[in-house]
């Protein structure tokens, strides 16, 4: 995983330095920013492989910055992990709904942080198998990491991309939330099952603009299924 670059945005210097130290030891390149403004200046220069973003910042909050970056087509695909001292479930859902790809509550160990970063990078990275997957007019191109419907580009975050990739390659079968977590996130990362619902909502919303949201179906009491057939 070396030569992957992480941008750490955290105003509390001892915490930022501790995180940067741990990441460098794990083989990452690290750049540091003390607030949202500094982060945006660094992002204008070049994009890191992942953004580690603290929720509480002195200027624009990490939550607001995540929303802003996910709305901008230049930075939409940049993976973001939100760091926070707030452990409330509602905050976690708000964090994920901002567009962040994962959410980590302080305090966390360097090992846990590296595991989460690697999991998000894995999801954002290329997967094996056929280069092109097609289903009901949706074309997923693994080489370019692009998804199109009838030739029009679909805007997806890295997690929604992985989720769609899984569904398109496993159609007409019901998967429980637990199975989806296992297959999409990998078994060694702790993610709450409710997280799945947030990403499903986001995936449907992205597909809705292209009239394909009906393909991702909720199967009550069982989980989710990708199907072209009516419920």
User: Considering beta carbons, is residue 13 or 173 the nearer one to Ca ion?
Assistant: 13
49 binds Ca ion (CB under 5 A): no
Name beta bridge partners: 53. Answer: 9, 82
Does residue 11 interact with Ca ion by CB under 5 A? Answer: yes
Which residue stretch of 28-36, 50-58, 168-176, 210-218 sits at the interface with Ca ion (rule: CB under 5 A)? 50-58
- Determine, following the binding rule CB under 5 A, whether residue 64 of this chain makes contact with Ca ion: no
DSSP state of 150: T
Nearest to 97 by CA among 31, 224, 194, 211: 194
Closest CB to Ca ion among residues 19, 114: 19
User: If we measure between CA atoms, which residue out of 11, 103, 117 comes closest to residue 66?
Assistant: 103
User: Which residue in the set 38, 56, 155, 189 belongs to the binding site for Ca ion (CB under 5 A)?
Assistant: 56
Stretch that binds Ca ion, among 5-13, 44-52, 104-112, 204-212 (CB under 5 A): 5-13
Q: Does residue 124 have a cis peptide bond before it, meaning omega lies within 30 degrees of 0?
A: no
Q: Please state, in angstroms and rounded to a whole number, the distance separating the CA atoms of residues 135 and 142.
A: 14
Helices (H), 72-155: 89-97, 110-124
H-helix or E-strand containing 218?
strand 216-219
CB of 18 to Ca ion, least distance (A): 13
Span from 12-20, 37-45, 163-171, 216-224 in contact with Ca ion (CB under 5 A): 12-20
Least Cβ distance, residue 11 to Ca ion (angstroms): 5
CA angle 20, 23, 27 (to 5 degrees): 135
Among 32, 35, 49, 54, interactor with Ca ion by CB under 5 A: 54
DSSP 12: -
Window contacting Ca ion (CB under 5 A); options: 4-12, 93-101, 106-114, 212-220: 4-12
Which residues lie near Ca ion (CB under 5 A)? 11-12, 54, 56
């Amino acid at each position: 995983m070396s030569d992957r670059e992480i941008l750490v945005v955290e105003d509390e210097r001892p915490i930022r330095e501790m995180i940067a130290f741990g990441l460098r030891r794990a083989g990452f390149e690290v750049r540091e920013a003390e607030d949202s403004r500094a982060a945006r200046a660094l992002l204008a220069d070049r994009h890191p492989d992942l953004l580690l973003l603290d929720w509480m910042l002195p200027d624009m909050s990490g939550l607001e910055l995540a929303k802003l970056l996910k709305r901008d087509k230049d930075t939409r695909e940049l993976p973001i992990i939100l760091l926070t001292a707030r452990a409330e479930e509602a905050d976690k859902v708000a964090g994920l709904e901002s567009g962040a790809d994962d959410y980590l509550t302080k305090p966390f160990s360097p090992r846990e942080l590296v595991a989460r970063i690697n999991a998000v990078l894995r999801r954002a990275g290329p997967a094996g198998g056929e280069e092109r997957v097609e289903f009901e007019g949706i074309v997923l191109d693994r080489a370019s990491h692009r998804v199109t419907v009838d030739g029009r580009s679909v805007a997806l975050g890295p997690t929604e991309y992985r989720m769609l990739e899984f569904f398109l390659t496993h159609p007409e079968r019901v998967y429980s939330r637990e199975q989806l977590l296992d297959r999409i996130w990998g078994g060694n990362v702790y993610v709450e099952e409710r997280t799945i619902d947030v990403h499903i909502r986001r995936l449907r919303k992205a597909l809705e603009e292209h009239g394909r949201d009906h393909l991702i179906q909720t199967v009550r009491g069982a989980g989710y299924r990708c199907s072209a057939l009516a419920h």
